[in-house]
A and B are shown apart, each in its own frame.
Chain A
Amino acid sequence: MRAQARLGFILLLTPLLLWLSLLILIPHVDMALLSLRERVGVGEYAVSFANYGTFFGEPLYMRTFLRTATMSVLATLITLIIAFPVAYYIAKIAKGRTQSALFLLCLVPFWVSELVRTFGWMILLRETGVFSNLLQWTGLATGPVEMLYNDAAIMVGLVYTSMLFMVVPLVTTLESLDDAVIEAGYDLGGSGFSVLREIIIPHAMPGIVSGSIVVFMLSLGNYLTPTMLGGKDSLWFTELIYSQFIVRFNWELGAAFGFMLLILSSFIVWATLRLTGQTLERTMG
């Protein structure tokens, strides 16, 4: 029986180890090694930090990197602010059938591909689009208005795309908050604002953290939305990675870019978990 249990353990462990080592760990180590390689001659390579030097030395790369990071943080904050009242309404105010219907409605847009959603925003925002025509029809604008190809359009797309990943964890944590606790807060003389600040938000913290992490990751790593909705000046960091790999075929520099993106995202995830006293197992698992 012991031997059988041991065999079962090994059989279950093998797929996990194969998956994690061959598809996650070793590829990332390999990518890190590639990013430390510099071409010194035909078919000759040396270990150096030249690619990272290029990254830090070229203002365009650095600026794009920082811009992508700040815009992703901003998109996360906006998503949180828009989603929180909605999640609260679904979890605490709506009851019974309305509650489950509203929750399902929130999920619907995310059953279709991100490409379709982005395409929808293009139809709405472009010069010949729905909003532009609406504005002209109501007389608010005299000519066609181009609302596409700028940072605001990117922001609209990013927030829309990640909404679900904020609403769902928020609803889940808010549902577990007992109404009696909120009533007690009011009974003890709290105002709506102090109840929100001292009872509801602390209780919702795990949901806020996991939602924010996922939304931040999705925004940072997004390629489609910035490419389709952004203009010539709104370059996203993932576009740089793509162009180094596929267009320029400079894999060494592309790998360095990829690694910088990985470091940035890991750092922000780690810092968020640290600041709020959460762990990855608790927020994701």
Chain B
Amino acid sequence: MIPSIPQPRGLRMAYTAYIVLFFVYLALPLAVVAVFAFNDSQFPSLPWEGFTWNWFFGEDRPMIGVFHERPILRAIGTSAFVGFCVAVLSVAVGTTNAFLFNRYQFRGRGLLYVLMLLPLVIPGIVLGISILVFSSTVANELWDAVEYDAEILRPGLALVILGQFSFITTIATLVISARLQKFDQSLEEAALNLGADRLTAVRTITIPFLMPAIIGAVVVAFLMSFENFNTTLMLVGSDAPLTIAMFDRLKEGSTPLLNAVSLLLMVGSSLLALVMIAFQRKA
């Protein structure tokens, strides 16, 4: 079924209808979340009680808006901090990995490449508990050996960052590798011929070429970290990132406050996506 082959009218229309239905299905849950953020009621459900901005800017109980709700604001800050650390770490390691696999032929390269892909096929929750188990083993050994309590190895932000880093690095590696493969190595050789040393050649020629992929990987890593739930759930301590904080609230019963937070998230990530697309276009 392609445009150049005529098909019965009915079939074509049924197909188009299916596609329309599919996009309605995709949009529906997000649309209702957004709409109910403005419902002047204690519950994010019908009946519609009228339009209000209170779930964003409200200052008094029972309608405290997002911008006056301290725990939520703190959770957003925590998530942003974690996302930033994960993005920087995973893109740094992703870049070195990409260079390693692109430039060097060595024994065990194939095996290492498969190992590098593995985090993608390990369930997030298993990744979380294995890191939790290992870090407590190390912390307990440390305590037994030198009576030093390694607070950093107990559930908390450090472990959350490591846990997310462990699989986001694979994605960063793949994104950056894909662009590095398109790079024409003779450009780097030309720089070497013109008297640059290796590091200068990479810094002035290769890295600028990779920049779109690096920026893309940073954005993707940040968003994946911001959204991550499974791995974070197992490693979280007292400072909960946003997804965990929202999950705890949702379990207790939801108010349109959560819709308002969700709407802000949607707007935020759409903006990030647009920035990324604009950047990719320019490159």
A residues near B (Cβ < 8 Å) are 4, 8-9, 11-13, 15-16, 19-20, 23-28, 30-31, 34, 82, 85-86, 88-89, 92-93, 95, 102, 105-109, 111-117, 119-124, 126, 128-130, 133, 160, 163, 179, 182-183, 186, 192, 213-214, 217, 220-224, 228, 238, 241-242, 245-246, 251, 254-255, 258-259, 261-262, 265-266, 269, 280-281, 284-285
Cβ of B50 within 8 Å of any chain A Cβ, yes or no, is no
A115 touches B113 (CB 8 A): no
Cβ of B270 within 8 Å of any chain A Cβ, yes or no, is yes
A128 touches B265 (CB 8 A): no
A111 touches B126 (CB 8 A): no
- Number of residues of chain B lying within 8 A (CB) of chain A: 89
B121 touches A224 (CB 8 A): no
B266 touches A116 (CB 8 A): yes
A258 touches B129 (CB 8 A): yes
Cβ of B58 within 8 Å of any chain A Cβ, yes or no, is no
* Chain A residues closer than 8 Å to B99, beta-carbon distance: 12
A23 touches B125 (CB 8 A): no
Binds A, one of B27-35, B64-72, B183-191, B204-212: B27-35
B45 touches A123 (CB 8 A): yes
* Chain B residues closer than 8 Å to A255, beta-carbon distance: 129, 133
A13 to B242 Cα, complex, angstroms: 35
B2 touches A92 (CB 8 A): yes
Residue on B nearest A92 in the bound complex, by CB: B2
Cβ of B97 within 8 Å of any chain A Cβ, yes or no, is yes
5 contacts between A and B (CB under 8 A): A4-B198, A111-B269, A113-B226, A217-B120, A245-B132
Cβ of B215 within 8 Å of any chain A Cβ, yes or no, is no
B residues near A (Cβ < 8 Å) are 1-5, 7, 15, 18-19, 22-23, 25-33, 36, 43-47, 92-93, 96-97, 99-100, 103-104, 106, 110, 112-127, 129-134, 137, 162-163, 165-166, 169, 174, 177, 198, 223, 226-227, 229-230, 233-234, 242-243, 246-247, 250, 254, 258-259, 262, 265-266, 269-270, 272-273
**Min C-beta distance of A115 to chain B, whole Å:** 5
Sorted from nearest, which 8 A-B pairs have the closest CB atoms? A120-B29, A221-B123, A27-B130, A27-B134, A23-B166, A113-B227, A111-B269, A12-B100
B243 touches A115 (CB 8 A): yes
B32 touches A31 (CB 8 A): no
* Chain B residues closer than 8 Å to A223, beta-carbon distance: 125, 229-230, 233
A26 to B25 Cα, complex, angstroms: 43
A82 to B18 Cα, complex, angstroms: 10
Given A19-B93, A20-B115, A163:B134 Cβ within 8 A:
no
A264 to B102 Cα, complex, angstroms: 33
A52 to B75 Cα, complex, angstroms: 38
B32 touches A124 (CB 8 A): yes
Residue on A nearest B272 in the bound complex, by CB: A111
* Chain A residues closer than 8 Å to B43, beta-carbon distance: 128
A224 touches B273 (CB 8 A): no
Residue on A nearest B124 in the bound complex, by CB: A221
A228 to B106 Cα, complex, angstroms: 48
Given A26-B134, A112-B265, A217-B123, A224:B229 Cβ within 8 A:
yes
**Min C-beta distance of A253 to chain B, whole Å:** 12
**Min C-beta distance of A96 to chain B, whole Å:** 12
A12 to B258 Cα, complex, angstroms: 44
